[in-house]
Structure 1
Amino acid sequence: MKYKPHNYQVYAKDFILEHPACCLMLDMGLGKTIITLSALWVLSLDTFESGKILVIAPKRVAEDTWPKELTKWEHLTGLTYSLVLGSKTQREEALRKRAMIYIINRENVKWLVDNHEWDFDTLVIDELSSFKSNQAQRFKALKKVRPKVKRIIGLTGTPAPNSLLDLWSQLYLIDMGKRLGRFIGGYRERFFMPDRRNREIIYSYKPRDGAEAAIYDLISDVCISMKAVDFLDMPEKISNVIEVSMSEKEKKQYGQLQKEMVLTLESGEVDAMNAAGLSNKLLQMANGAVYGDEHKVHYVHDKKLDALEDLIEAANGKPLLVAYWYKHDLSRISERFSTRCIDSAKDIEDWNAGKISVALIHPASAGHGLNLQDGGSTIIWFGLTWSLELYLQLNSRLWRQGQKNTVVIQHLVTKGTHDEDVIKALENKDIQQASLIEAVKARIECEP
């Protein structure tokens, strides 16, 4: 696929090339991965400034996102990679493989530092905010080898949603203490003062007056950008598809449901009524659960829940609006994460005040004129809908006049399922009953 970068992506890539140590603090969905890979291609195959590159990422991101992006874009041809994942034997074999980029999950960073002679001259840390604890083993391990790294790129969405104290360890890995100090104690004393305490025991700290501005000013030369990508023409909307894959067993169950629904039909043709019912069942199953007799819920998989967990972690406290369609989706999401439904005027008020990190909303409840743009700028579609009106209506709750940030719309799509038909129809703005019928028939006819 040909890559047609946005202006901000060109800007960010050039920023990486011009700064041997830098951090991209860009919102989710703005393309941190492709921006970084575009820069790495130049560094590896054009200017030859990078010899051996290590990418550290969350496990599922390391397994899926980085390899997909590397193979997706034409302009990245020539970049070779090796996945340092799995068992100890598999990781050791991957390290012996000749490649330009080595991708490892953050849980194995300490193992890598302790057991492998460090020979990486370029380091990329995806989700740098997961290194915010200066007491964590992963931070201590990287701190040891940081002087050996010539180039480092940190990637994160929100580096300090809870406390500016979280910035110290992240920036230390970027510049080895040049901007915020070599020790967290000095950083804390300089910019913070005790907040909650019991005599000599201090439970928390709060920034001194002017500390936030001073900290941001100190790191502004190596970071884009603390608050938002302010060089974009606002508001901009970016739409992404995040694929998840069912296991072979789950695929078999999905196919069985599809076949059984068809086999119950006498004529072999799918009429509108039956097509709608089959579409409904297939979309439920793609989400991870399906209703049976007497509205009993049958659980199938947690793949979308796992992907949602990754997105919530990547947001690092930044508000997310999650759209669900079925009640069993609502139940499963609520059981796994700390959430709140947007149902009342009070919910809307609290959302817009930034008091809700993960808000759940049903598209049918997101009526015209409902203003949610002050509370966040990211929508995650956990379950998709055939209704173009409801789809556009919900998106416009955030993507509207008055929105100060880039709106990112994430779609969780289960590969090889009816989800793909719906997202294609949404993209083509072709939501009609005929589209639904034809999509169902096409999948049935493909079955052996």
Structure 2
Amino acid sequence: MKVSTSQPFQIVYSLLEHEYLGYLFESYVVQRNSRGQLTLQHQTVSAKNAPEFANGLDEVDFELVALTDQIQQDAVIKEFWPKKTTPADFFLKIYDADKGDKGLQDAICRYVQERMSQILERLTGKYVFIMGKDGEPTWREIGLAAEPASVLFHFRRNEDSTHYFPTIQYQGQKLDFQFKNAVLVCVHPAWLLLDNLLYNFNKDVDGKKLQPFLNKKFIVIPRQVEDSYFQRFVAPLVESFDVHARGFDIRSERYIARPQLTFSDAPHAVIVAEEERRPTAGRPRTTEAVAPAVSDHIHFDLSFRYGDHTVPNNYDKRVSVKLEKTPESYVFHRLIRNFDQEQESIRELADRALEVRNGRAVMEKATAFRWLHSHAEDLARLGFTVKQGTTSGKDYFIGAVTVQVGITETNDWFDVHGTVYFGEFEVPFIKLRPYILNKRHEFRLPNGQIAIIPEEWFTQYLELFAFAEEQQQTLTLRKHHLALVSDLQNGNLATVTISRKLEKLRGFEAVEDKPLPASFRGELRPYQKAGYNWLHFVKDYHFGGCLADDMGLGKTVQTLALLLHRKESGEAGGAASLLAMPTSLVFNWMSEAFKFAPSLRLLIYTGTYRDKNVEQFAGYDVVLTSYGIVRLDAELLRSYHFDYVILDESQAIKNPSSTTSQAVRGLKSRHRLILTGTPVENSTMDLWSQMSFINPGLLGSQAFFRKEFLKPIEKSKDEARTRKLHALIKPFILRRHKAQVATELPSKIENMSYCSMTDEQAQCYEETKSYYRNKILKNIEEHGTAGTQFMLLQGLTKLRQIANHPRMADEGYEAESGKLREVIRMIKGVVSEKHKVLVFSQFVKHLDIVRDSLDERQIAYAYLDGNTRERHREVQRFQETDDLRVFLISLKAGGVGLNLTAADYVFILDPWWNPAVEAQAVDRAHRIGQQRTVFTYKFISKNTVEEKILALQNKKIQLVTDLITTDEAIIKSLTKEDIEELLG
């Protein structure tokens, strides 16, 4: 029957009993008659049609309609059974007495009960009825009790058994509910229908505790099961409800809440001390059969001692009951908890960074023990008891942990000594070394307990252990670790005793000025003099040094001045110094030594026919050799004790596992020095190898350096590690960039770079020279110099080409060129120092060969020769592109008319007669707008016509400065003696 919304109507809620789902409510609208009475005309209301009746419904009604919809059988089936089925099939299958699904029945029950509870809470002031058997929704009206009732549970213990029954109080009167056809409309929580009134209860009584007594006076508990029954059933009742007992005691007790923090490494353990394993009401007995898994975290459980009893903090009842069995009976200790005190303890822990939630906190193991060590005294003062749970996988030490470290200077190193105190146990500091280096936190004490090494020690003492050397159960540090020693002292991590000399070093403000050796020729620029003083400084303190000035700033001359001082002062003690370098630099060093320190006795220890006898070194001050020779003669050279071992272009040993690195590290000397413009070419490991040569152990082992510096710096861009590395190496590296010393430099500095030819190149050169020498000298005898000009020019050109690279004269040549090797090395140095360079050659063929080498190494470059179109675009690209650092230019095409002030290096690959042409090339960079000093390098192949052309220029300086612009004019001026000199 439809209910008209134009006529008065009323929404009502009707209680019915479902065969399987229990008691349910349905929502109806009922038509009223003209007298306002409810009629038999009614209609079901659901969420779908409720809006039609909105003028008769309030907000609570809409909530009730939605809830009653959810418990109708079709809605329940849809919620729990996704497949299509009929109600009969569903209920017969799920609720079958033998084969039914008990788990699903329980889930459906919880679902319905939860919604019935929500409906009942909202029915106050509503029209509520019991449905008639014919489906009439308003068969009998029922009401809701005005206030909650209370339940008192009674126990009567006699000699044979205990009787148990509840009584209900409502508005101060006992409510007679037994044998009165009362029904429990809802069980969780209990709602009782009695005499047309619905009663609910304070303290959320579970209806199952009342159900047995609707038609039974009491329950008998036999004596043989009362132990279990009292523990499992009666104790929870005493905790939550009012209980009246005869035959045993219930004692309400109040105590101060004493906090107890129990820790364990077992992740899911219930942490209870051994003497407290008696089951607690509401908590199941734990099983100890299986050993708990050990976690890498520590689990803290907070509980509170009330008298002799412990209550876990995660137990949510205000009252906690402990059962005590006496010889005659039982005592229920009803502990009244002090939640305010408990919350205060939780706040105290939170103030100390331990967040306890639901009675538990978790910390990473090392952090947890650091927390325990830091707060042990504080917690004790606050009344906390801290102990280890019996479920813990290991027996941990939680006493005081302290360390005392002392560092004392001896003649050659620092002695490191110390003691670690774990409570009463004293452990030598050195015993911690493998633990700190390998980040092992657990240290076993003599009594078998596990002590956790404080986390901060792994940072504070890591470098001390990494850099120290272990000798006969003692630790020693080399003197070059003074900065580390100072850091330990400044951080109050060690007590340090050092000499006045070292103390002075720690506070030094300026390097002492040293006089130049008397026989030194020339002058040092101020920054070079400062470098010379610095070399003395690191030597005086027996440190190794790295002179890392930019290319062209004079590392060679500073080093020669130092070596000359060693000779004149007698400090070298008659021992020679060894200078190792790339082969191509040997002649440069020899030339510079003759120029600035001619009194130094030099031995050139190179070549296939060198005298392999170290005794000869005693007759010299300096031995010049190549890395290749050091590698070949490593065993022989190790037998001599040098004054200095100096490595030029020391990036040659950047690979620590290379045979070159191993060979130089095996050399013996009083002092070590490295020279390089690029201490780091490819990787931070380059630095480790070179620093480990000059100051062994400075950066720890290779594995340590890779783990603690290389990976954090290169992969993680760790700025703290980068700063730490700089701090470690800073005292031993002197690095000046051109920009830093610009005011001390002239605007243009010219250099000669002498290159030795390879064996194959030298052979090719000698064969060609012999051919032209014989041919030209014979022609001079027959026709004079005038008739030989063309042949001489042809021969000199051929020899110049071979001096550059024999492939220019013979395309079938496959070997290397000494000059190309040196040019590429220098280009790499300039690029790595982030400078720009112009590379000039008179031969386009030569530029092609250089291009191929740059392509192989993936070095970008600009290029210009006579065939280049749109020259201005290539110039603009070089000038404006920061990462484009090399410009290859043919001398004829690019010697004039270009403005290339972005470059501050100029390389002349093949010098020729007229210096004016070279000067014009240099002026491409050295012109108005150039803010930096320009360095020029002329590359000269040793023992070739190039070197002899330079010698002739010096003899006939006037001739080559008279603006002679043609090769022919110069050739014509050559005498027979000049020609013989050139081809000699």
* TM bucket, shorter chain: 0.7 to 0.9
Residue 306 of structure 1 deviates from its aligned partner by 0.9
Question: For residue 287 of structure 1, what is the amino acid of its counterpart?
Answer: Q
Question: Structure 1 residue 169 and structure 2 residue 689: aligned?
Answer: yes
Distance in 2, Cα, partners of 1:313 & 1:413 = 15
1:439 and 1:94, CA in 2 relative to 1: closer, same or farther beyond 3 A? farther
Contact 2:878 2:887 in 1 (8 A): no
Query: Aligned partners of 1:412, 1:303: CA distance in 2, in Å?
Result: 19
1:322 aligns with 2:836: no
- Give the alignment's TM-score, normalised by structure 2: 0.38
Change (3 A) 1:127 1:22: same
User: Superposed, which structure 2 residues align to 1:98-109 within 5 Å?
Assistant: 98=618, 99-109=620-630
Mark the CA change 1:263 to 1:142 in structure 2 (over 3 Å): closer, same or farther.
closer
Structure 1 contact 282–418 (Cα < 8 Å) conserved: no
Deviation at 1:53, TM superposition (A): 1.8
Structure 2, gaps ≥5 residues long: 1-518, 832-836, 865-870
Deviation at 1:346, TM superposition (A): 4.6
Q: What CA deviation, in whole Å up to 9, does each residue of 1:83-114 have, x standing for no partner? A: 44345x84532555423333332234355554
Distance 1:141 1:323, change over 3 A: same
Question: Structure 1's 129 and 244: CA in aligned 2 closer, same or farther, altered over 3 A?
Answer: closer
| 1:438 correspondence with 2:950 | no
Cα RMSD over matched residues?
4.2
Aligned equivalent of 2:786: 270
Provide the rounded CA distance (Å) in 1 between the counterparts of 2:520 and 2:730: 32
Q: Which amino acid aligns with 2:531?
A: A
More off after superposition, 52-61 vs 217-226: 217-226
Cα deviation, residue 155, structure 1: 0.9
- Pick the aligned partner of 1:66 from 586, 589, 594: 589
SS of the equivalent of 1:19 reads helix
Aligned equivalents of 1:220 and 1:288: distance in 2?
A: 45
Task: Give the secondary-structure state (helix, strand or coil) at the position aligned to 2:752.
Answer: strand
Deviation digits for residues 298-323 of structure 1, max 9, x if unmatched?
47999994123124325544234321
1:46 and 2:569 are equivalent in the alignment = yes
Residue aligning to 1:364: 892
Deviation at 1:154, TM superposition (A): 0.8
Counterpart residue number, 1:136: 658
Contact 2:862 2:884 survives alignment (8 Å)? no
| Aligned counterpart in structure 2 of residue 237 of structure 1, from 716, 727, 748 | 748
Aligned twin of 1:183:
701
- Structure with the higher fraction of residues in helix conformation: 1
Distance (Å, rounded) in 2 between the aligned partners of 1:131 and 1:277: 47
Q: Which amino acid aligns with 1:437?
A: K
Alignment of 1:28-43 (within 5 A): 28-43=551-566
Moved more, 252-261 or 391-400: 252-261
Matched, 1:219 2:729: yes
Q: Per the alignment, in what secondary structure is the counterpart of residue 11 of structure 1?
A: helix
Residues 1:409 and 2:936 are matched in the alignment: yes
Structure with bigger gyration radius = 2
Q: Provide the C-alpha distance between the structure 2 equivalents of 1:404 and 1:287, rounded to a whole number of angstroms.
A: 35
- For residues 5-404 of structure 1, what are the structure 2 equivalents within 5 Å? 5-7=523-525, 8-20=527-539, 21-49=544-572, 51-62=575-586, 64-70=587-593, 72-73=594-595, 75-77=597-599, 79-86=600-607, 90=610, 92-98=612-618, 99-110=620-631, 112-115=633-636, 116-144=638-666, 149-178=669-698, 181-191=699-709, 193=711, 205=715, 207-209=717-719, 215-216=725-726, 218-225=728-735, 227-228=737-738, 230-233=740-743, 234=745, 236-244=747-755, 247=762, 250-251=765-766, 253-254=768-769, 256-257=771-772, 260=775, 268=784, 270=786, 275=789, 278-279=792-793, 282-288=796-802, 297-298=809-810, 305-314=817-826, 316-319=828-831, 320-338=837-855, 340-343=861-864, 345-346=873-874, 349-350=877-878, 353-356=881-884, 358-366=886-894, 370-374=898-902, 376-386=903-913, 388=915, 390-400=917-927, 403=930
Q: Give 1:133 shift.
A: 1.3
CA gap 1:230/1:142 in 2 versus in 1, 3 angstroms = same
Question: Does structure 1 conserve the Cα–Cα contact (< 8 Å) formed by 2:895 and 2:920?
Answer: yes
Q: Distance in 1 between matches of 2:947 and 2:631?
A: 39
Structure 1 residues 356 and 83: alpha-carbon distance in aligned structure 2, compared to 1, 3 A threshold: same
Paired residues, what number?
424
Contact 1:289 1:328 in 2 (8 A): no
Alpha-carbon distance, 1:341 to partner: 4.6
State the secondary structure of the residue aligned to 2:579. Answer: strand
Post-superposition CA distance 1:157-199 (Å, at most 9, x none):
2222434442221122222243xx213444455555579xxxx
Q: 1:211 to 1:361 in 2, by over 3 A?
A: farther
By how many angstroms is 1:229 displaced? Answer: 6.8
Question: Which segment is superposed worse, 378-387 or 206-215?
Answer: 206-215
Kindly state the Cα deviation for residue 68 of structure 1 after the two structures are TM-superposed.
Answer: 3.8
Whether the aligned pair in 1 keeps the contact of 2:824 and 2:853 (CA below 8 Å) is: no
The AA in structure 2 aligned to 1:392 is A
Task: Work out whether residues 317 and 357 of structure 1, in 8 Å CA contact, stay in contact via their aligned partners in 2.
Answer: no
Q: State the distance in 1 between where 2:652 and 2:712 align.
A: 25
Preserved CA contact (<8 Å) 1:59 1:105: yes
What SS does structure 1 have at the residue aligned with 2:674? Answer: strand
Residue 395 of structure 1 deviates from its aligned partner by 0.8
Q: Give distance in 2, aligned partners of 1:341 and 1:143.
A: 40
- Distance, in Å, in 2 between the alignment partners of 1:421 and 1:327 is 21
The change in CA–CA distance for 1:37 and 1:357 in structure 2 (over 3 A counts) is same
Confirm or deny that 1:4 pairs with 2:522.
Answer: yes
Task: Quickly say closer, same or farther: Cα 1:256–1:310, change in 2 above 3 A.
Answer: same
Alpha-carbon deviation of 1:40?
0.7
Q: Distance in 2 between matches of 1:283 and 1:15?
A: 47
Task: Write the distance in 1 (CA, Å) between the matches of 2:592 and 2:705.
Answer: 37
Secondary structure, counterpart of 2:589 in structure 1:
helix
The 2-side partners of 1:75 and 1:228 are apart by 25
The 1:39/1:232 distance shift into structure 2, 3 A limit, reads farther
Amino acid at match of 2:753: I
Question: Percent sequence identity over matched residues?
Answer: 20
